[in-house]
Chains A and B, each alone.
Chain A
Amino acid sequence: MNLRLRKPAIALLTSFVLIMLAACGSGNKAEPSASGSQPASETPSASQETAPEKVTLSIMVGGNNKFYETITKEYTKRNPHVTFDLQTVDGSQYDTLLRTRIATKNLPDIIGHNVSDMARRYNPADNFVDLSGEPWVARLVNPDILKIGGKIYNLPFAASGSALGIVYNKKIFADLNLSVPRTFEELLQVSETLKTNGITPFYLGNKDGWVAQIWGLTTFSEVVKDTDIMDKINANQLKHADVPGFEEALGQIMQLFEKGYVNEDHLSVGFDGLGAAMNSGKAAMTVLGDFIEAGEQLGDYGIFATPGVDNPDLTVGTVTGWFISKNSKNIEEAKKFLDFWSQPDIIGIQYAEDPRFSAFKDVQVSFNPLMQGEYDEYISQGKVVRQYNDLIAVDTSELFRLYQDMFGKGKTPKQVLEAWDEKVAELAKAAELPGW
């Protein structure tokens, strides 16, 4: 073949290859969000007469509990035209991914997320479907904690969020005749007794930022309870460094380190190692929450509120649940799925694997002893306080790192608060919050 024929042939082949590559690349992306093609205005009677078009609902969750699969499979069994694209995202990447997908308007149909984060960062009115008129709303135990701007945008998994505080080994306490400390002095005394008896008082997992922040979080929540401190801080009228309660709270945990009440390798251990370490009985307490992974020995543990102040209430977090994206092409089907999820026999599957305080009036949950204790002593008596992270107007992940810096002796409590104030100012200005 002479060169004159070869030239256009090669040029043609090159462009052909390029087009193929481009098509293959974009083809994969188009799949999940566009495969459901029926219009949202389909009436129920119509769908029974004609064979319903195939729908794929894409769901994004963090964490990989089995009940997601179990429940979606059950729904497909009852509604064969619906299949699910379950996207499990690792917890540490979840926020980044969610933020990117919202910015690029490329959300899956259904997203699992928590209410306070959604309200603070992701503008639910613009991005998610208003679910205030759904049939299951009437059955909610605690609709108020879901309301963003007066409307409900998600189906909650629980009536209240995870409780955070000090998880303690009841057996060790009983053996040494110790009672639950309600003041910081009592906590120090309990720790001293444990130490002299050869038991590490605290086993902390500060390698994970979100565990390292729990002491600060629970004590701060008590400091701001029933005050207007958070309103002032969010409006740029007060700085964290000016609130003595905050510095005192951080000073308290540093005292625990100084007195040798904490495991030496606390910065090398994360959440994954905590359950096993506590089960081995070498430590009596850990700063964590009611989600400790203790397996069968869960009954050995109880939880009490962090005694930064005297007689504290238990800090509880925000609630997670399902949100439906406004850009979804399958909003009606997604709404049906949510209603399905709320049914007692279905949400019961979730509670069996991951017990929470039931979100719905007609669903009963049997608690493990840890949560039963939490319920009896705190929840049922209303002795709860909302967590600080839900009350501050900006994202707190930088604060976690500052705490770790403090534990690594890179900053004093005062410096942590000052650095945090700087960061809050930056984030608030970037988001153009009023007052900054």
Chain B
Amino acid sequence: MNARRLYPLFYLYPALLIYLALFIFPTLFSFVYSFTDWNAYRDTIRFTGLDNFVKITKNADLMLSIGNTVLFAFVTSIGKNVLGLLLAVALCSRIGFKRLFRTVFFLPTVLSFIVVGVLFTALLHPDGFLNQFLGFIGLGGLRQEWLVDRSIVMYTVSFVDVWKGTGFHMIIFMAGLLAIPRDYGEAAQIDGANPFQEFFRIKLPLMMQAVSVNVVLSLIAGFKVFEQVFVLTNGGPGYASSVLNSIAFQMFGDGRWGLGTAMNLILFLLITAISFLMLAYFKRKEVDI
């Protein structure tokens, strides 16, 4: 069907121009800069090829930050989506106070990262609320240095992010659930399906679009993590909880701009690859009503 265009094409040009100038061109330039030794200490820039990337692979701390980023992305994605789905199912069933719970669980999403960070820094302090509470209920042996112990700091940061982000994904799952007509569920029950079968065989496939959106969004947000790490630990202690973005931030502060841009290029490639893979995977799984 050939719909008559309501507005001429050149209405697009101003916005397109701004988009090109402020987004596309700088991004392309940054890809070029990541192959140079651009830094704040000299006025000249030299093309150095893959030097920056070799440096990154040889540096244990930088590789740790890449590993932390991937770990964070997958842990928070799984956490947010599984919990979000459970909450969505619970809030779409026949329980009371649905509106209240919906608000309560969505509230953390609305808070700013800084607020959440300051709050949890106090809660997770060695003498803070969490450790005191554990001691109070007799689980004193579980007390940890949540934000300082190298082996668990990344999981602690992930936990705070899951706490904050689950509500958002819950809402999307609820939208997906509520769009499924009742008839399917009722027909399944008549045919003798138990709730699990009803959920996994009927509801979930029909919700695949919502799942796809949620998983890809949470993964991308997970790879781009910065504020959570910056406010809670600043990448510390040392480099234990550093992530790609926090390292790139440090490098820019240090004046080593070429290296920082290279880190960002790695991030871009990671996100693009994972997003395409995930989107393709879910596209195949989508079932239309």
Contacts and interface: CB of A to CB of B under 8 A. Distances in A.
Main secondary structure of the interface of B (DSSP, over half): loop
A426 B148 CA distance: 29
Interface string A1-30: 000000100110011001000000000000
A410 B10 contact: no
Given A15-B14, A268-B148, A430-B41, A405 B125 contact: no
Contacts of A10: 11
18 contacts: A7-B8, A10-B11, A15-B14, A96-B252, A264-B126, A265-B125, A265-B126, A395-B254, A397-B253, A397-B254, A398-B254, A404-B238, A405-B238, A406-B238, A408-B236, A411-B238, A422-B59, A430-B41
B24 to A, nearest CB: 18
Contact of B238 (A268, A402, A422): A402
Contacts of B40: 99, 103
Given A265-B125, A268-B125, A395-B254, A405 B41 contact: no
Nearest to B8: A7
Contacts of A426: 55, 256
Main secondary structure of the interface of A (DSSP, over half): helix
B205 interface: no
B161 interface: no
Contact of B41 (A267, A268, A411, A431): A431
B237 interface: yes
A265 B127 contact: yes
Contacts of B125: 265, 268
Contact of A99 (B14, B239, B255): B255
Interface of B: 8, 10-11, 14, 37, 39-42, 55, 59, 61, 125-127, 145, 147-148, 150, 235-240, 252-256
- In this complex, which of B59, B147, B148 has the most chain A Cβ atoms within 10 angstroms of its Cβ? B148
Given A14-B14, A15-B14, A398-B254, A267 B39 contact: no
A379 B239 CA distance: 38
B67 to A, nearest CB: 14
Contacts of A401: 235-236, 238-239
A18 B15 CA distance: 10
Given A401-B236, A405-B239, A408-B238, A430 B14 contact: no
Contacts of B55: 426
A100 to B, nearest CB: 8
A160 to B, nearest CB: 29
Given A11-B10, A430-B39, A409 B150 contact: yes
Contacts, number: 83
Nearest to A97: B253
A296 interface: no
Contacts of A14: 11, 14
B46 to A, nearest CB: 10
A95 B253 CA distance: 8
B239 A96 contact: no
B247 to A, nearest CB: 11
- In this complex, which of A7, A10, A267, A422 has the most chain B Cβ atoms within 10 angstroms of its Cβ? A267
Given A264-B126, A268-B145, A409-B150, A431 B11 contact: no
Contacts of A95: 253
A103 B45 CA distance: 14
A68 interface: no
Nearest to A17: B14
A432 interface: yes
Contacts of A395: 254-255
A206 B145 CA distance: 14
Contacts of B145: 264-265, 267-268
Given A405-B238, A410-B150, A411-B238, A430 B42 contact: yes
Contacts of B59: 422
Given A15-B14, A411-B238, 8 more contacts: A14-B14, A18-B14, A121-B41, A264-B126, A401-B239, A405-B240, A409-B150, A432-B42
